[in-house]
Amino acid sequence: MLDSNKNNAWVYHSKLSYYDKSNNCGVNKLIKGSPIVNENPYERRSLECRINLERRFFRVGTLPDYASVVEVENPHLIDPAESYRFTFEGLYSKTKMTILKLEKVKSFDTLM
């Protein structure tokens, strides 16, 4: 989706976003470790995202060992009856991403 086609205000104010340069986008409640804030946008990192709309669950953890884990600050903002898009945004001209795996699972096999 082109930047001109998204509603930036809604994305930010929905508080259902993860942004690794800020702790103010909603997915920032610290569960384990230290906050996942990336000071260097070109640093290589691996993250895992887990989403379960029915349980109002959205977590992001660092790989390989989940040393840091954050989740959505207010899970009641997730409406299981709504449709959502899972998107990635490249903010820098040199941004490179590799999506290693995207799975639809019946359950999460390990705790994060």
- CA dihedral for 104, 109, 111, 112, sign (positive or negative): negative
Beta-bridged to residue 59, according to DSSP, are 50, 71
User: What 3-state DSSP class applies to 35?
Assistant: coil
Separation of alpha carbons 100 and 47, rounded Å: 10
pLDDT tens sequence across 57-90? 999 898 899 998 988 888 888 899 988 878 776 6
Separation of alpha carbons 37 and 46, rounded Å: 13
Mean pLDDT of 5-12: 64
In this prediction the pTM is 0.75
Predicted confidence band at 22 (pLDDT cuts at 50, 70, 90)? low
- Identify the burial level of 59 via C-beta atoms within 10 angstroms of its C-beta, where 0-12 means exposed, 13-18 middle and 19 or more buried: buried
